[in-house]
Structure 1
Amino acid sequence: MTDIAQPIVVGVDGSTSAVGAATWAAGVAARLGAPLHIVYATPYLGHNFTDAAAAVRAAAITGQHEAAASILDTAADAVRRAEPDLSITTSAPPESADEALETLSSQARMIVLGSQDVSATSALLIGSLTLKTISRAACPVIAWRGDILTPTTQPIVVGVDGHNSDTALELAFELAAALRVPLWAVRSSSSRRGPGNVTIPFLIDWEALEAMEWRSLSATVGPWAQRHPDVDISFFVEHDKPSQALLQRLDGAQLVIVGTRGHGALAGALIGSTSLNLLHHSPLPVGVCRPAAD
């Protein structure tokens, strides 16, 4: 990658979803004024638990050199048709896809991968390229899915959870400003329970708790809103678990972005995490941002 500006990196593997991801990433790159770098590497196959899996990996490595040029050309042609003026580079590094993407992430603005979903089985047993990349990348990772091939005028949804949301808010505001679309900031307030679930329900000031949630949401988002005064932002406090609070706000949106606490690959794969639930259930592209300190 020789461009001075940080590129958007998109990984391709010859699949239809990868070409869709590349086309979508190209639209985002054009609006951000960033170059696009398309990369193809040896497929990430997880841990080799069996000799058969090791043989598959060996065959993939052998076939890489034959397939790389064709796969990269196909993706680049699709991108040029969609964004003819965009600066595009390609590469086929010798290392595995997870290693290549980790290396490229240190120079990238974001990484985009075609990903229909991430199942609990793949997350816990063999892992996935998406989860592996999220856990190790030095930049935000967007798992593209759905049928949106170019940015639209629909809102971007961002999950807000205290300081863990800073990198997610940074990306969300940056994209909302570049795409000139509204931003929906969603905070989960799953602590609210019915009177039958508490010992002395009348001593709990639910209105005060509600007001506290709204103040926390406003205080977290406020500094970013001041930096991007042209972004039209709406606030939502949902009385549900974080993943459900976000999923119920996706109707009519084009992208959802969340932060992750960055506890590592294993913790990131635990069933029930907000990121994993969104990766598994969201019909829209999902952006996952690790804390800057990571």
Structure 2
Amino acid sequence: MPRTVTVGLDGSRESRAAAEWAAREAELRDLPLKLLHVWEPAPEPMAQASLLDAGTRQHWRERIPREAAEAVRLRHPEVEVAVEQLPGRPADVLVKAAESAELLVLGSRGLGGPVGFLVGSVGLSVVAHVDRPVVLVRSTEPAADGHGTAPKDTPSAATAVRPVVLGLDVEHPDEALIAFAFESAARRGTSLRVVHTWYPPPYYAYGTPVNPALNEALALSAEAELAKALSPWRARFPDVDVVEVTRYGSPAEHLVEASRDASLIVVGRCARRIPVGAHIGHTAHSVLHHATVPVAVVPHD
């Protein structure tokens, strides 16, 4: 079975924006697109008390994926589109669907509006438990977001594409994470901005006067480590212009700041299992809530 770009639909503006983003990504990857609508059956007493009969409920349930598919096919006739509706708990169904997907795309409201599909427990659970990359898309994401969606013979196609931004921990430079970022930049024909942050050692940071010489040495060391981690990837992707950025301070803050001029933010998530709850890491969690552009969360060892 060929892998797909799969997008979860719930009828919100965010999920419609996610479907549009996913269609463009499917076109870039030359993969089919699957529109997945998950509906949670109402408990029997509630279903019996509903003012709508079963046929009417089914009509409205089928309307969400049908209208999304019509919109995608109109805008992206070259993309193969499949529609699937499944009952069950949304988080469980989406995690299962990700197993056969190359990429899972979902809508996200962030903290700028009401808590929604992705910021809530369902979305966080999906991000924390899937073994495939997940991309979270805002409802404010424009139709042309740096995917190069304009026809090739139009002037707007020549407009510079905003860079892909990768948050990288040079102490654990996972290959899956770096490959995803480089491939994303290569597909879009844009540059890759790699952000690495550093702090002074704990024994120095607490109660010790600022030492400019030490800070400069630490900054130079961080730059050298970042260059070393990216050197083999520059050779593998010679056409990707790479900008290396090292900053003092919180990685989440610097990545959110970088999102203002980016087309996509790529962050990692350690794919470890915990007995209770969903854990995605502080940096990924903060970027998901506050970044202004789509965020790709890539699980790694």
Q: Which bracket does the TM-score occupy, shorter chain normalised?
A: 0.7 to 0.9
Show structure 1 runs of 5+ residues with no match: 46-50
Deviation, structure 1 residue 165: 4.3
Give the residue type in structure 2 aligned to 1:213: A
Q: Which residue is equivalent to 2:15?
A: 18
Whether contact under 8 Å (2:28, 2:187) holds in the other structure is: yes
Could you say what the CA RMSD is over the residues aligned between the two structures, in angstroms? Answer: 3.2
Deviation, structure 1 residue 128: 2.2
Whether contact under 8 Å (2:40, 2:88) holds in the other structure is: no
Using the alignment, how far apart are the partners of 1:55 and 1:224 within structure 2?
56
Q: Which residue is equivalent to 1:211?
A: 220
Q: Deviations over 1:146-167 (max 9, x none)?
A: 3223441111111001325433
Deviation, structure 1 residue 184: 0.5
Write out aligned runs for 1:98-247 (5 A).
98-117=91-110, 127-145=120-138, 146-152=140-146, 153-162=161-170, 163=172, 165-191=174-200, 198-199=207-208, 205-247=214-256
Q: Which residue is equivalent to 1:289?
A: 298
Whether contact under 8 Å (1:148, 1:254) holds in the other structure is: no
Using the alignment, how far apart are the partners of 1:286 and 1:196 within structure 2?
31
Q: Which residue is equivalent to 2:287?
A: 278
Q: Which residue is equivalent to 2:279?
A: 268
Whether contact under 8 Å (2:264, 2:296) holds in the other structure is: yes
Deviation, structure 1 residue 203: 9.9
Please state if 1:38 is matched with 2:32: no
Deviation, structure 1 residue 118: 6.0
Question: TM-score with structure 2 length normalisation?
Answer: 0.80
SS at match of 1:222: helix
Report the more deviating stretch, 256-265 or 71-80. Answer: 256-265
Q: Deviations over 1:1-33 (max 9, x none)?
A: x5x2x2111000111211111011101110111
**Runs of 4+ displaced beyond 6 Å:** none
% same residue: 26
Number of equivalences: 273
**Alignment match of 2:6 (pick from 9, 13, 17):** 9
Give the residue type in structure 2 aligned to 1:101: L
SS at match of 1:290: strand
SS at match of 2:19: helix
Whether contact under 8 Å (1:44, 1:97) holds in the other structure is: no
Question: TM-score with structure 1 length normalisation?
Answer: 0.81
SS at match of 2:71: helix
Q: Which residue is equivalent to 2:155?
A: none
Q: Which residue is equivalent to 2:72?
A: 79
Deviation, structure 1 residue 202: 5.0
Whether contact under 8 Å (2:5, 2:105) holds in the other structure is: yes
Deviation, structure 1 residue 112: 0.5
SS at match of 2:92: helix
